Amino acid sequence: MQFQNVSIDAIGACLPESTWSSEQVETRLEPVYQRLRLPAGRLALMSGIHQRRVWEPGTMPSEASIRSGSAAIQASSIKPSQIGCLIHASVCRDFLEPATASRVHHGLGLPADCWVYDVSNACLGLLNGVVQIATLIESGAIEAGLVVGTENSRPLLEQTIAHLNADHSLTRRSIKPAFASLTIGSGSCAILLTHRRLAPGASRLRTAVAKARSAYHDLCRSDQDSAGADMTPLMDTDSEKLLAAGVATGAEAFETFLTESGWPRDVIDRSVCHQVGGRHRALMLEAMGLPVDRDVATFPWLGNTGSVALPLTLAAGAFWNHIQPNQNVGLFGIGSGINSIMLGCEWQTTRVAGNFPAEQPQFETLAAEATLG
């Protein structure tokens, strides 16, 4: 899929103030760590994730989405009245119905003739929203659109910790499916896309491809619907099989991306992959034949923030000038299901607004080869 007329005008980000280190998570897990004789520091060693952010108790996804959406609009070159589509695209949402996008639309003061709806596709929701809005802009149906989402990790973290501490039947093997839940972080991100005539100097979205390998749909699932700030979900993740199948899916999608974009590997100046952890990042880049030193990562200090992980990392890369004008940027998303979406952008000037730290937190980004066994 090719785009000729779509600009990435602005990105808004909103991060929680509260930080949970991996050491703090392990302290909360002291009962199960003692029973299974798990050494301290294993969580960060296995994942490369040293911190994650969490919203305050009772935070509704729409509240943070309104903040990040407002930041994107204020940073942009257009008025709210010009926005013709609003998509809320995170896993977390306020209620089963109505669409969380409805409250965000009201909070942002967007026009009544705006398309307003939710999209959900695990860690790929916001990328799906970008493609949908870009298609509407390219077709001439709208001039501008906003995709936004907020992930709330606190309920999953708290429920997982409580469950692991209470289950005395756990072994080092049976605890493994819960590991991925301990790496999840919170955050909110909004991407404002426009027709290029409204933002002629902005970065350009050029290419989008998708790849589905849905035979692996059962490798990561939640046993409850993840709607609402009071959700108490548990996730069951076969991390090893998900890693292998995800990397294979991404590598296949990347070959399609190279063909569709017309880019050889050596013209990709910056890459942004989904932020799962150090081992996933290393294997994914190796499978695609891309260098680690050109990749942008936030998982060491934000954890895996689901659907907002890749957009937040793109915003952070631009905020800290790791991504600069006249660079070709590849956005390489992987989501449970398993699905992959990959986007190609010609980066110019995209304004970023958000509460990122003034300086990038420095942590080791490559995880050691470690297991729970």
- Which residues carry out catalysis? 97, 123
> Would you say 253 and 342 are in contact if contact means Cβ atoms under 8 Å apart?
yes
- Cβ count within 10 A of residue 299: 29
Q: Closest Cα partner for 127 from 353, 330, 347?
A: 330
358's CB contacts (< 8 A; 6+ apart) are none
Tokens (6 digits) for 198: 């409204």
Rounded to a whole number of angstroms, the CA Rg of the chain reads: 20
Please give the single-letter amino acid code of residue 62: S
